[in-house]
Copies of this chain bind each other. A is one copy, B any other.
Amino acid sequence: MNNRPFDLLNDAIDKEVLVVLKGNNQVRGTLKAFDVHMNLHLENASQLVDGEMKTKYGKVMVRGDSVVMISPQI
């Protein structure tokens, strides 16, 4: 059992995550790293707007300040 919310991110390293951003945008990709501000490093990332894929990124750094939710896709 996890005891802190960040443990959930720790368990998601190298797994696919769905990141909901402010403004209802979403980014999906493989979580490679995160820090205490919830800044994220994703690989094989793509941006979704209203659920549809809009842009393919390779690597992307997401600023924690823009994050609403992060869901590991297991």
* CB closest residue in chain B, given A64: B63
Please, how many residues of chain A have a CB less than 8 angstroms from a CB on the other chain? 44
In the assembled complex, how far is the CB of residue A70 from the closest CB belonging to chain B, in whole angstroms? 5
Known: A58-B74, A59-B74, A63-B69. 20 other contacts (CB 8 A): A4-B33, A5-B33, A5-B39, A5-B40, A5-B61, A5-B62, A6-B35, A8-B59, A18-B57, A21-B68, A22-B22, A27-B69, A47-B69, A58-B72, A58-B73, A59-B71, A60-B71, A61-B70, A63-B70, A66-B68
* CB closest residue in chain B, given A9: B61
Residues 7-33 of A contacting B (Cβ, < 8 Å): 7-9, 18, 21-25, 27, 32-33
